[in-house]
Amino acid sequence: MRRQACSAKAPQSAQTDKKAEPMGERILIIEDEAAIADALVYALGSDGFEVHWCQLGRDGLDWLQRQPVDLLVLDVGLPDTSGFELCRQIRQFSAVPVVFLTARKEEVDRIVGLEIGADDYVVKPFSPREISARVRAILRRSQGRVVIQPAPAAADAPPALFEHDPPRKRIRYQGHWLDLTRYEYLVLSALLRHPEHVLSREQLMDSAWDDPSANFDRVVDTHIKGIRAKLKRIDPAHDPIVTHRGLGYSLDMGTGQPRT
Ligand code: CA
């Protein structure tokens, strides 16, 4: 019987000499199936990650509130909650990258469509090596900073239009750190995750609010107004937030990509 509610796993040393240099980033796995969790703990531990495994959503949430974590691997189907609901709760206080594990292909649409702040997903059955590769890719993108360059870099390129620093939950605009409220940060970071894509007010609400109030539109509009005012203080001539009437908002990164 495996009633191990939450189990600390030290980094395991790899047994091959192709072992990656230890990175020591902390990965939390929330997954109720011990066989899957064990395989992941082994694969990620072999890659030098510090891995902690929780079997239940509530234990994982408790761990996240007490411990710094660099990336979360989150099963959609947990015994005590759904991974979606848990991700929403986590997004109230953390911008930690999340990789969803799902047993059902139909759930992929929800992961992608709901804008609940997932960074990637993997459909079971998967190879632990595949997860490890994705985890490394996401950490490369999110560690330090996610830099979104508005145009091909030139020798005298201007600073990136936006720079996102998820671990510290801050965003830089044209080289200036923005002083954002929590909700402004969550709304802007949701737009930044999908540059040039139109996100509806409902999608923005889902990514920022745990318990959306009845009036989506006004709440989102208020925060967009706040973000715009702060961007304008930096560059009064430029408004990168595009309003799409009846649809939502997008970020114009000045890349000339077609808007979707
Ligand atoms: Ca499960």
Taking the C-alpha atoms of residue 260 and residue 258, their distance in angstroms, rounded to an integer, is 6
**The predicted structure's pLDDT at residue 118:** 77
pLDDT in tens, 155-202: 444 557 888 888 778 888 888 888 888 888 888 988 888 877 888 888
234 C-alpha to ligand 1 centroid (Å) = 47
Q: What is the 3-state secondary structure (H, E, C) of 77-117?
A: ECCCCEHHHHHHHHCCCCCCCEEEEECCCHHHHHHHHCCCC
The answer, yes or no, to whether residue 123 has pLDDT greater than 60, is yes
124 C-alpha to ligand 1 centroid (Å) = 10
**The predicted structure's pLDDT at residue 113:** 56
What does the DSSP 8-state code read for residue 166? G
pLDDT in tens, 68-109: 888 999 999 999 999 988 998 888 788 788 899 988 877 776
The answer, yes or no, to whether residue 120 has pLDDT greater than 70, is yes
88 C-alpha to ligand 1 centroid (Å) = 18
The answer, yes or no, to whether residue 232 has pLDDT greater than 50, is yes
109 C-alpha to ligand 1 centroid (Å) = 18
**The predicted structure's pLDDT at residue 260:** 38
pLDDT in tens, 55-71: 999 999 999 988 888 89
**Residue list, CB under 5 A from ion ligand 1:** 32, 75, 77
30 C-alpha to ligand 1 centroid (Å) = 9
